[in-house]
């Protein structure tokens, strides 16, 4: 597992992640829960340490050295996020706690200002609860209807059905570019184009695609896009929302407080310009700096190498796991990210997860915050192994052996 034929130095990448050296239950950790959270490279850990040791200070307020340096670093992180998603301007990048907060921001701000009774919002059957519930909250208040693009039996969205759902009543389409449960990668650009033809706005949940594929908001022409820091090798409590500048300018603030105002009087408050208008209170400064380190790490590795490595792992794992009698892969879209959901005859997914955990193998088992999708699939849960840049074919072999052993319990 040293140097593979694409010049991707797997050994070096693994050495960047200290947690990979840890034993769990007396055996080396095999971490296959990357769709939930990725591990953190030393670059990110060091950046957080450096900030807390040498740089701690609040931003945008202090008249002193540390504060102004902190502000420069915080805004430089925004520029790195801009570069990562290829937005036109840093005014289009808002730091949030993650994807969930970003969807809530758009639903509560843009949605509250623009939805009216009878309007329609289109979601998909693949969505994570965080791209369903915020829309339900605002649409039930506003008297709007949610329509859902169905998924076919192999886990792909049905584009023709989507076209039938679209109408001048559609005000928003919100969908993920990659399913966290099935790994389905959707070509969202054609969905965006079709939505724009009827005048609807489009929000992309890029929580799963951001660590796996390049994100280009200008090429996509999406109106909003969100991702989470902890899934792109960054810290918890930080993420980003991209929004087209003219839309963000037109939207009311999501939360009120310090930093988001221009002037406050007892009679009236006026707002700061974007992006500050949407960043009330002290932001996650260390989180933003850690996110910058994480995104720089990804961009230095390069998506060509990341895609090639993860595609190889997915193909290998799919082939190997299918050899296990009674194991069924759930979700076999033509275009898939390195996420592999499966069930085994006669065994509950949570039991499988607990048994292989005893062998140091970390996977997720459950509904993966996708209960409507589980209902569509007729399953209560799946086991999900999700791969990242530091995983190896050897770890796939350990997963396979641990599953074969687990089967003895059923």
The reply to whether 369 belongs to the active site is yes
Q: Any alpha helices (H) in 231-360, and if so which ranges?
A: 245-250, 285-301, 303-322, 349-357
Residue 207 binding ligand PLP, by CB under 6 A: yes
Of the pair 128, 171, the CB lying nearest ligand PLP is at: 128
Closest CA to 180 of 206, 203, 154: 206
**Cα–Cα distance measured from residue 387 to residue 85, given in angstroms and rounded to the nearest whole number:** 22
Binding part of the chain for ligand PLP, among 98-106, 287-295, 297-305, 337-345 by CB under 6 A, reads: 98-106
In the list 34, 180, 186, 386, the residue contacting ligand PLP (rule: CB under 6 A) is: 180
- Which bin fits 167, alpha (ψ -120 to 50), beta or left (φ > 0)? beta
Structure tokens of 245?
């500048």
Structure tokens of 309?
């490595």
Residue 359 binding ligand PLP, by CB under 6 A: no
**Cα–Cα distance measured from residue 315 to residue 333, given in angstroms and rounded to the nearest whole number:** 13
Of the pair 215, 402, the CB lying nearest ligand PLP is at: 215
Residue 286 binding ligand PLP, by CB under 6 A: no
- Contact present, 381 and 350 (Cβ < 8 Å): yes
Residues in region 131-160 near ligand PLP by CB under 6 A = 131
Q: Which of 144, 178, 222, 369 is catalytic?
A: 369
Closest CA to 166 of 201, 133, 138: 201
Counting residues that bind ligand PLP (by CB under 6 A) gives 12
Structure tokens of 127?
């969505």
Structure tokens of 204?
């992309």
Residue 40 binding ligand PLP, by CB under 6 A: no
Give the nearest distance from C-beta 368 to ligand PLP in angstroms: 7
Residue 208 binding ligand PLP, by CB under 6 A: yes
Structure tokens of 344?
């085994």
**Cα–Cα distance measured from residue 65 to residue 371, given in angstroms and rounded to the nearest whole number:** 50
In the list 77, 80, 176, 382, the residue contacting ligand PLP (rule: CB under 6 A) is: 176
Binding part of the chain for ligand PLP, among 93-101, 182-190, 191-199, 395-403 by CB under 6 A, reads: 93-101
Residue 92 binding ligand PLP, by CB under 6 A: no
Binding part of the chain for ligand PLP, among 46-54, 200-208, 216-224, 373-381 by CB under 6 A, reads: 200-208
By the criterion CB under 6 A, which residues form the site for ligand PLP? 98-100, 128, 130-131, 176, 180, 205, 207-208, 228
For the annotated catalytic residues, the residue numbers are 369
């Amino acid at each position: 597992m040293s140097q593979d034929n694409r010049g991707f130095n797997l050994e070096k990448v693994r050495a960047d992640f200290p947690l990979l050296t840890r034993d769990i239950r007396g055996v080396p950790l095999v971490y296959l829960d990357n769709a939930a959270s990725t591990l953190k490279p030393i670059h990110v850990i060091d950046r957080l340490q450096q900030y807390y040791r040498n740089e701690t200070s609040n931003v945008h307020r202090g008249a002193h050295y540390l504060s102004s340096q902190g502000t420069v670093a915080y805004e430089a992180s925004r520029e790195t996020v801009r570069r990562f998603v290829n937005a036109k301007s840093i005014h289009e990048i808002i730091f949030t706690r993650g994807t969930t907060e970003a969807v809530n921001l758009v639903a509560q701000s843009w949605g509250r200002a623009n939805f009216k009774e009878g309007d329609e919002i289109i979601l998909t059957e693949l969505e994570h609860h965080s791209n369903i519930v915020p829309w339900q909250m605002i649409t039930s208040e506003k008297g709007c209807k949610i329509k859902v693009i169905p998924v076919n039996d192999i886990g792909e969205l049905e584009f023709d059905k989507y076209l039938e759902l679209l109408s001048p009543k559609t005000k928003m389409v919100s969908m993920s570019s990659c399913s966290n449960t099935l790994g389905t990668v959707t070509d969202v650009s054609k969905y965006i184009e079709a939505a724009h033809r009827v005048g609807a706005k489009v929000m992309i949940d890029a929580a799963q695609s951001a660590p796996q594929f390049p994100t280009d908001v200008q090429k996509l022409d999406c109106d909003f896009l969100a991702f989470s820091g902890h899934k792109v090798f960054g810290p918890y409590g930080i993420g980003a929302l991209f929004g087209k500048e003219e839309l963000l300018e037109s939207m009311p603030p999501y939360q009120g407080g310090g930093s988001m105002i221009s002037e406050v009087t007892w009679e009236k408050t006026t707002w700061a310009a974007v992006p500050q208008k949407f960043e009330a209170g002290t932001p996650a400064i260390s989180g933003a700096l850690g996110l910058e380190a994480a995104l720089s790490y990804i961009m230095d590795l390069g998506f060509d190498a990341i895609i090639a490595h993860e595609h190889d792992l997915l193909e290998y794992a799919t082939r190997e796991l299918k050899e296990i009698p009674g194991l069924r892969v759930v979700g076999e879209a033509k275009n898939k990210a390195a996420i592999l959901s499966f069930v085994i005859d006669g065994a509950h997914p949570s039991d499988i997860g607990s048994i292989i955990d005893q062998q140091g193998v970390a996977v997720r088992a459950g509904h993966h915050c996708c209960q409507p999708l589980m209902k569509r699939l007729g399953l209560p849960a799946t086991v999900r192994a999700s791969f990242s840049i530091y995983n190896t074919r050897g770890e796939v072999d350990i997963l396979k052996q641990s599953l074969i052993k687990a089967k003895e319990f059923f």
